[in-house]
Amino acid sequence: MGKEIKTIGVLTSGGDAPGMNAAIRAVVREALGKKLKVKGIKRGYAGLLAEEIIDMEARDVSDTIQRGGTILQTARCEDFTREDGQKRGASICKKHNIDGIIVIGGDGSFRGAQKLASFGINTVGIPGTIDLDINCSEYTIGFDTAVNTAMQAIDKVRDTSTSHERCSIIEVMGRGAGYIALWTGIANGAEDILLPEKYDYDEQKLVNHIIENRKRGKKHYIIINAEGIGHSVSMAKRIEAATGMETRATILGHMQRGGSPTCKDRVYASIMGAYAVNLLCQGKSNRVVAYRNGDFVDFDINEALSMEKAIPEYQLEVAKNLSN
Ligand code: ADP
Ligand code: F6P
């Protein structure tokens, strides 16, 4: 069993995600309920290095569970990827009597937490990213809201695409991962879903499929293109030239990261926040909270970062079969 925890810090890092506030609220209130002190660290690791550290009380997280974004702000911090930055971060924690830190973010943020742990600060990571690209977890904070936001936007593009009998390429976020594309592809009944994990760069196959669909009486052709493939605008020009079907590209962009979190994101983020505090109270460090097989669990960060997660083949097959 590790050291006794009296004060915990909480920060959000990397891209923001709807539900991060629910997690911060849970961390603050669970910790205060256990008679711990809570310090909010603003702007991720950048704020830690700049000592932007504030005391947090129960009322500081009032009226936040329904708000998108992160009340602590977030940032990406180059200095923290270097050892001198990480050591400085650990000594700043010690200076502020922070015994344990909860890091809400993605893989990169967990690597930072891993380093802080190696310099003597107990750390727990909570998966916070719309991309769903944390391999140890079937859920990440913000994914559910992001896919619902994207789904509603794609429904709107579909209306105009059908009216004009056009092909629409709709680019969704996800960095190198295709989960947002896969889910919206299924939910929006897309004719094609282009995932970075599966993309073979054979555009002729896509062109042939569009022409076949046209012959079979389809009024539109919706392609969900993952950000990891990108180039939607130039792809649209090539497809229009090759098929004769008017083609438009829509890049949904950052609207996918905003908005009020869904019920699922509020509930899971709340549970993960409380769970993380309990891990620190048990003296645990270098852990990541995860959701797997219907349960909230935790992994060693090193193990979590080495795990792999594949695109579910069956879901992709279903998506293809249902778009005929
Ligand atoms: P995410 O956490 O969503 O994956 P990033 O990859 O941008 O987002 O990482 C967020 C921040 O975490 C980075 O700006 C940096 O401060 C920190 N970080 C990323 N990689 C490392 C690393 N290898 N070592 C230490 N800190 C890191
Ligand atoms: O990781 C979340 C995410 O929105 C990715 O989907 C996207 O690739 C990236 O962040 C965009 O980052 P930025 O907001 O810095 O442009």
Catalytic residues: 131
Give the β-pairing of 221-226 and 247-251. unpaired
Residue-averaged pLDDT of the chain: 97
286: DSSP letter: S
Question: What distance in Å separates the CA atoms of residue 316 and residue 324, rounded to the nearest whole number?
Answer: 14
Q: Which residues of 283-316 are buried (b: 16+ CB within 10 A; e: fewer)?
A: ebbbbbbbbeeeebebbebeebbeeeeebeeeeb
Atom of ligand 2 nearest to the CA of 174: 6
Give the β-pairing of 37-41 and 7-12. parallel
List, for residues 49-99, the tens digit of each pLDDT value: 999 999 999 999 999 999 999 999 999 999 999 999 999 999 999 999 999
Positive or negative torsion for Cα 113, 270, 133, 130: negative
pLDDT of residue 133: 97
Backbone angles phi, psi at 50, to 5 degrees: -90, 5
Residue of the nearest CA to atom 5 in ligand 1? 108
Task: Tell me the pLDDT band of 301, cut-offs 50, 70 and 90.
Answer: very high
What is the whole-number distance in angstroms between the Cα of residue 205 and the centre of ligand 2?
A: 29
What is the whole-number distance in angstroms between the Cα of residue 322 and the centre of ligand 1?
A: 38
Taking a C-beta distance cutoff of 8 angstroms, is the pair 173, 227 a contact?
yes
Question: What distance in Å separates the CA atoms of residue 231 and residue 237, rounded to the nearest whole number?
Answer: 10
List, for residues 246-290, the tens digit of each pLDDT value: 999 999 999 999 999 999 999 999 999 999 999 999 999 999 999
Q: Is the pLDDT of residue 1 over 60?
A: no
Higher pLDDT, 324 or 131: 131
Q: Which helix (H) or strand (E) holds 39?
A: strand 37-41
List, for residues 164-187, the tens digit of each pLDDT value: 999 999 999 999 999 999 999 999
pLDDT of residue 201: 85
Q: Which ligand is nearest to the CA of 107?
A: 1
What is the whole-number distance in angstroms between the Cα of residue 45 and the centre of ligand 1?
A: 9
pLDDT of residue 2: 59
69 close to ligand 2 (CB < 6 Angstrom): no
The pTM (predicted TM-score) of the whole model is 0.97
